[in-house]
Structure 1
Amino acid sequence: MKQIVNKNLISLKCVLFCFLSGIGCIFPFLPLHMLSVGLDRGEARLISAVAPCVALIGPAILGPLLDKLSVGRGSTGGSGSGPSGSGKLLRVITALCLILSAVFYLLLLAVPYTERHEARRPEVLFMCDQDGAYVMQEVCAEGMRCNRWDGEKTGVLAVTKCEYGCADDNMTWLTQPFPVPATTTTVRPLYANILNETEAEPLIARDEEEEEDDYDLNPPHLCLTGETDVECLVYMQHAGRMRVPLSLTAPRQNDTADWCTYKTAKPSKCNVPQNRLDQLLEENPECRPAVRCQVLDPYDEPDGVLAEAQCRLVIGDPSYTFWSYLVVRVLADIWPTAALALLGAACVIATRETSLGRGDVGRQLAVGTIGLVIFPPLAGLAAKEVPEAPYLIPFVMHAVFMLIGALILIFDSHMPLSAPEWWWHTATGVLTMPMNAIRRYGAETAAIFAVVTLLGTLWSAIDTYLPWTVLDLNGTDTLLGLAYTVGALPAVPVLWWAEGLVDFLGHSNIFIAAFTFYCLRFTGLGYSTDPSLVLVSSALQVATLSLVHVTAVLYFRHLVPRKYTATGQALPVIAHFCLGRCIGAIIGGIVSEAPALDAAREVYRALAVTSLVIAAAYLALYHFVLAPKCQAPSVAPPQTLLQGLNTNGSSNGTYSPMRVYHEERSRKGHFRY
């Protein structure tokens, strides 16, 4: 009876369990952690897109480097350090990646906190007297300084309801409500007339039968010193809006600390007509004659002089928090990505590939996936246990698992990771033919790389911002962790029998099915109104992520020459978890940036249709164009290999090609790629 559990692979299974457990403790909560340190969603989207793009440096460098350094260090001897040379090198480099992953993600906890409250729009007043024009802005909050700038700030200020009155030091008149204009007059509006000061005369707009209104005979004049002369703007009663061009100097704060005063950079004044002046002084001998105007949309007016002067309560330095988080996160993402590629190579090397064509790669990943089943909900449950440091416990759990995995790799010198010259051997150890007859190079590798990248894009469009989707639907951190559990739990038995399942279905058919399942996942998210429905969508992840990844591992195992095993396993990681994740983060960011939940659902539905179209196009292209053209022909085994072999009892001393080619034209003979 075949041994179900290979004792030599137990330590490798433990490493994969620790690695995926650490991944499950931290990656579901990284988008939420970015928000918890004070980054806004726009900054978080940028980091989520940049980090995986830079992370490809890890597998892209370490994969080829390991292959190059492993030459001559295998069982064939050479100038290396013996049979275990390349195995030790792979173990040490992978352990180093796990340690650096633990260190850099812990450094994210040291990123300084920042806090930005929603902008408040304080009241703005406008006053003008014979000494100049002033813009008054209410101080944002107690103890806060006025908005300041260097030099002059030029723009416009939209005003209305200008009127004469008496200004005072405590601004009582300025802060009083403006009177509601009468609606019985038939005076026609006259807007913002510009006159020279020498020509500024009262402008009258009225019907002949109406009595003249004293206000219309003496409208307020705001006179500004121009480049060559003095220009005056005349405000007429009932004018809807007058745009006043202003150049303001840096504000000064009043003694009361309640208002900030912005004064015009160039000389300006408002003269009060004599009849109005006499009337004001008669009512109040200490009157300071002035004109006040109501300010319209000070922060929204096009080219507004106060467009950027709205209040923002900021704690810490948002710019420093963003850049420090970006740098640390980019460096942190490199190491688990590289470790994933190296562990894939370790699985391929350690399990070998027997004459039955099955190396049990999936079983190693299945045991590791148990960590993804157990720990994400536990990490979510403990995420807010330390209020002053949210997500501290998940980060520590990640570090602990990574360090345990690294220790196993360092101290287990019996892990079977030394690559022999030939892996293609029979169950009795007799070498058979090399893989050259069935291996595809170049074009097929590039094509599968593109397919895996596209699948990674669709995965990232959902997974990168799934935490925000759960929170927007009033979910919790624990429910978010359960979403990953629901996605990983069905993957355990599927991965356990993955190689047989891939042989039966065919590699390309699995990729086609994955696009179809993405259609279902996007459709589910497009109509989800409850966080529990996200769990149903996550259950389909077994077909869109787990089975896709192991299929890519097995596919590149055959496409890439044996001496480039680490490079070959780096390719699907770069495609799916780097390039695809980057592009998907950009697309998912468009969804999360939608102004309303309904708009985001529309994008999800569009992605569902896109996935279905891709699946149909891939199905037609592969089965009706590529498969008939590129089917591998039957090739007789080398005669030198068959000499002396007669295991099938033939009388002529020949060996049946069915034994070498895994039943000749059966699935494993052509691999159904």
Structure 2
Amino acid sequence: MKFFKTFFGRITSDFRQKELLSLKLLFFVHASTLYVLYPYLTIHMRELGISVEETAIMSAVTPCVAIIMPPIAGIVADKIGNFKVLLALFSSLGGLVSLLLLLVPVGRMTITYPDRTIVKFGCDFMTGKKRSERVTLTLAEDHLCMPVTTYNSTIPVRLEACGIICERSQKDYDLDVKSSKTLKQESIGILRARSYFVTEDRGKFYYELTAEDIPNFTSRIGDARNYRFMKNKERFTTSVRNLTKTKYFFPTKGLYNFNCDVKGSTYVCDINEENKWSNKSQSYQFSSRNYSVKVQPVDFLKTGVREFKLITLSEPKSAMSAFQPATCIDDLNMASRNLSISVPLLNPENNLQTSSILKMTDCEPSCLATIPRGAICSNSKHVVEYDTSLTFWTYLIVRVLIGIIGGTAFAMFEGAVIAILREHKGDYGLQRIYASIGGMISSPLSGILIDYASRGKGYTDFR
């Protein structure tokens, strides 16, 4: 009891010294700024994609350089003869240099793929054959897919939509499109189109898109880290989507469908006409269907596996309990159909005007499905590298400057504090208590602010 009485008595007595109140406030603020910055530097480096090895190099170099500056600053202060000005200068520079961390660009970014992968599912009629085509399951996206070790397990497949896949080659782009300067601009024009026409042997069919089906490209402006968690664009049956840089999927509700019928011990599948669809009929609604398949890889590329052959197939509601072999027929002779898509491209400067009509002729009927990514791909994410050297050296330079300026300011601050305490016969340890209090308040408070600023974003916002 006597110990606590003596302890709190010293604190009360020290607090009554008005000359030391400014020191207490300075210790509180100074420690608060340190605990706001330094605990989060490692997390900030991770957000910028700085590797563990690069972080270790920075942690080793910064203190070594920071050792040199305080003695030099002391010599300069003695020469100038104005300690206060130099201390104020270094303290101000320390805050300004710390803000430079926000200008360091992202060096690496880890992209996480969606849980479900989009695949082209059904019959392949582009090989020139007319009958006995195999049923295939092909990756329909450019995302890197590293094959799993075995494919013996069953894979659940959800058929999302049937339509037409068209390829837009660079050669066609050069010859036909004069309203767009780049292939990327043309891609944006296709995805922003409000309608399109399908021309085939039966006639010409018109499809119109709603505002919800058209992507909002302006929303993608900002930090690239907002998009490191990829999501599949939904609305399969009503929205146009780019599968790769040159391939596009146009849904054609009511025009085509994928069906499998049991014939003996085999599933015979085809992409057929859903009904005698007319231009005025818009009532047809495509319904997703679930299949279970066993597959065998057909082709391996350097970037991963792309195509699978369906060796067996089943439907959960089927009367057949076992998986059955699956083959594909072409009763409608799809391979020789005159199939094309016409897309009115909007004027980039005036969305109410059509600048040109893009006609795509390299097209085929096809269906899109989604499968769990882990069923065929062993990788769920990949690292995108930008200018890693620029990020490393920029961050290292800023950190060295912070270490030099901050270390110098702290050394001069400590020297000034000790000089004042000697003059007023104060206790250094009692002043440091308020530094601890400042750190206890600022560190969790800054964490709360960072979490609040990062809500709804794909990255941690330190600003």
Flag the structure with higher helix content. Answer: 1
What TM-score range do you get, normalising by the shorter chain?
0.3 to 0.5
Flag the structure with higher strand content. Answer: 2
TM-score, with normalisation over the residues of structure 2?
Answer: 0.37
TM-score, with normalisation over the residues of structure 1?
Answer: 0.26
